[in-house]
Homo-oligomer: A and B are copies of this chain.
Amino acid sequence: MIDHRTLRVALLGAGSVGSQVARLLLESGADLAERSGASLELAGILVRDVDAPRDVELPRELLTTDAESLIVGADIVIELLGGIEPARTHILAALTSGADVVTGNKALLATHGVEIFDTADQVGASVSYEAAVAGAIPIIRPLRDSLAGDRIVRIFGIVNGSTNYILDRMDREGLSAEDAQRLATELGYLEADPTLDLEGYDAAQKAAILASLAFHTRVSIDDVHREGIEGITADMIDGARRAGFVIKLLAVCERLEGAAADGEDEAISVRVYPALVDREHPLASVHGGNNAVFVEAEAAGPLMFYGAGAGGVQTASAVLGDVVSAARRHIAGGVGVGESARQSLPTAPIGRISTRYQITLEVSDEQGVLATIAGILNDGGVSAATVEQTVDDEGTARIVIGTHRAREQALSDTVARLAQSDVVERVASVLRVEGE
């Protein structure tokens, strides 16, 4: 049932993902035509410099620096430039000229998603972005289509491969944070400026995109509570291991209902932080640069999606899946249902969430310490599930408290009071426990 139409595809960007997309478009033309229902003609590739050296050889005659002419004649525009501008301008131009857009640009969607999806709705074009979250793993489409008849309650997972690589090496080989980070840089997991990854910005962008889609509301990066892995030390990882946990940088998107919504009918919480995960939990065995996302839906129950979180050729697979779908849609001619953001759900401040916590305190080694600490916890309304007291070889006395589920606000107030107590010398770490 091949329609003998030809669709013109414009590719913006020829970096690690873009060059693989170009290669696959050129090499797998017949296959893609069969699956799309139309021939896909790569009309041109926007680059900054047509003479720059490239890892993947691309036909010289396809390279161009003229974005405008390339976009105006295209049926499908693939944006893989990254960053806000000129990506935003190009995407808006593409939509306005009637093209369907495929993008992997998480930074742009997490900040200007509303503008882009509204424009697409107005002109009746589509924006697909499977490649923006979790690399090759199909997660956007399952959330949007497969679970369209269900109600998503919670999403949590590992969506940043670089930090997972670092934490995994620290956990499995006892490396220091510095050594693990150096290794990650050498192997290309970290960019020259690693702050986007290490401080959780990259994960927060993805969390904003996932929450928007899952809860049919508009979440921007500013709504995401964000903590990175800068403060995670080998000691903390070691302590976590001894307690049966592993530390993972998690993105968590959840609905808050009833009491948790504090007077609102419903609210959501979107957050990124390093958390303790039980070693028996499937997320604990996500090693290296891989990603894994848990989705909990009312009817479907818990689902997990796992795979490579990054990589040029892996992410190119996600881009091409979107291109084939866009091509089918372009031919069918229907408008489709746009990004639904009918719910304007308020985002709850971090103080309103509740989880279990593990608090590690360095204390003075004297009688009555435990009683004093128990009193402070009790006054703060934080209930301890487990308490373990140890003295290490250097004579440092430590108390590790595992709490029952508590409100973040109550917890942080209590930790502040613990820090001020005479018997507490140092709050060594406070970590949330997720995945239970």
Contacts and interface: CB of A to CB of B under 8 A. Distances in A.
B130 A321 contact: no
Interface string A337-372: 110101000000000000000000000000000000
The CB with the most chain B CB atoms within 10 A, among A1, A145, A331, is that of: A145
A301 B309 CA distance: 10
Contact of A320 (B149, B317, B331, B340): B149
Interface string A307-339: 110010110111111011100110111111110
Given A301-B311, A304-B304, A148 B337 contact: no
Given A37-B337, A334-B332, A321 B145 contact: yes
A339 to B, nearest CB: 10
Q: How large is the interface on A (under 10, 10 to 19, 20 to 34, 35 or more residues)?
A: 35 or more
Interface in A286-308: 297, 299-308
A313 B336 CA distance: 27
Given A299-B316, A304-B306, A31 B142 contact: no
A256 interface: no
A303 B35 contact: no
A40 to B, nearest CB: 10
A340 B24 CA distance: 20
Nearest to A136: B300
Contacts of A257: none
Contact of A321 (B147, B304, B321): B147
A36 interface: yes
A300 B37 CA distance: 22
A307 B314 contact: no
A24 B325 CA distance: 28
A141 interface: yes
A34 interface: yes
Given A282-B285, A335-B1, A320 B148 contact: yes
Contact of A24 (B141, B149, B318): B149
A55 to B, nearest CB: 16
A138 B307 contact: no
A337 B300 contact: no
Contacts of A216: 34
A145 B141 CA distance: 9
Contact of A307 (B37, B304, B324, B336): B304
A52 B321 CA distance: 46
Contacts of A1: 121, 335, 337-338
A103 to B, nearest CB: 15
A32 interface: yes
A11 to B, nearest CB: 13
A399 interface: no
Contacts of A89: none
Contacts of A37: 337
A150 interface: yes
A151 B324 CA distance: 13
Contacts of A317: 147, 149-150, 297, 299-300
A138 B142 contact: yes
A293 to B, nearest CB: 11
A104 B310 CA distance: 34
Contacts of A340: 34-35
Contacts of A320: 148-150, 299
6 contacts: A138-B141, A148-B321, A149-B317, A299-B316, A301-B307, A332-B336
Interface of A: 1, 20, 24, 28, 31-32, 34-37, 121, 130, 136-138, 141-142, 145-151, 216, 282, 285, 297, 299-308, 311, 313-314, 316-321, 323-325, 328-329, 331-338, 340, 342
The 7 A-B pairs with the shortest beta carbon distances in the complex, nearest first, are: A332-B334, A149-B320, A138-B146, A300-B317, A136-B300, A299-B317, A148-B324
